[in-house]
Structure 1
């Protein structure tokens, strides 16, 4: 397999906390899938998990070469944990179409976070 796209993003956890405090459920419903809201909401400090997932969304759309455009929105690109706990990209129709257009068949993602920052990388592979 070879990489056809790569993306990376770093998110300030305090920024996500501020947006969540200011806009509440509207912010969450606009930017996160229901399964992401359920996952992050289980934690005592959910903002770091929201930040990590948002970083992954940004990294994914960078790997696709689109950003959030052409029908690809933050809510149409999601992150679930696989059976082994590893994060997996969940793509809506527009993102899946773009993945095929660039000659890729899957996106690999990795997420990490500390107290103040969350980071993710995404690699689109043939």
Structure 2
């Protein structure tokens, strides 16, 4: 059963500027695994932007806002086929459990100017 849907779009230039201006920007928003993945790419800012959009979309799909959560409570990973999926921890995992959400499906994409993500929160009931 669908519990919530979220979509977010991010201007890639804003993420790139934030990365260049603020030394702790990526540490505050992304886990070690996410940073390692993005920094392994030729244009890391594209992948950081897509992951940030995914986190925003997931928050919207949960319908909880960021109350007590950290951005690192939402970790975008990739399965063996390269498909993105979300690993929740901390207060994000608690919020999902309270709302009966057992999984959040993701779709990510980007162009030169923007990154977009959609998230669908699903539960058993």
Residue aligning to 2:82: 85
Runs of 4 or more, structure 1, over 6 Å off, are: none
Within the candidate set 79, 102, 106, 1:105 is matched to: 102
Contact 1:58 1:67 in 2 (8 A): no
Q: Distance in 2 between matches of 1:111 and 1:54?
A: 10
Q: Which runs of 5+ in 2 are unaligned?
A: none
Within the candidate set 62, 66, 80, 1:64 is matched to: 62
* TM-score scaled by length of structure 1: 0.94
Within the candidate set 22, 30, 49, 2:47 is matched to: 49
Residue aligning to 2:4: 5
Deviation at residue 93 of structure 1 after TM alignment: 2.2
Aligned residues: 123
Q: Distance in 1 between matches of 2:39 and 2:83?
A: 18
Q: Which runs of 5+ in 1 are unaligned?
A: none
What SS is found at the alignment partner of 2:4? strand
Deviation at residue 119 of structure 1 after TM alignment: 0.3
Q: Distance in 2 between matches of 1:32 and 1:72?
A: 13
What SS is found at the alignment partner of 2:6? strand
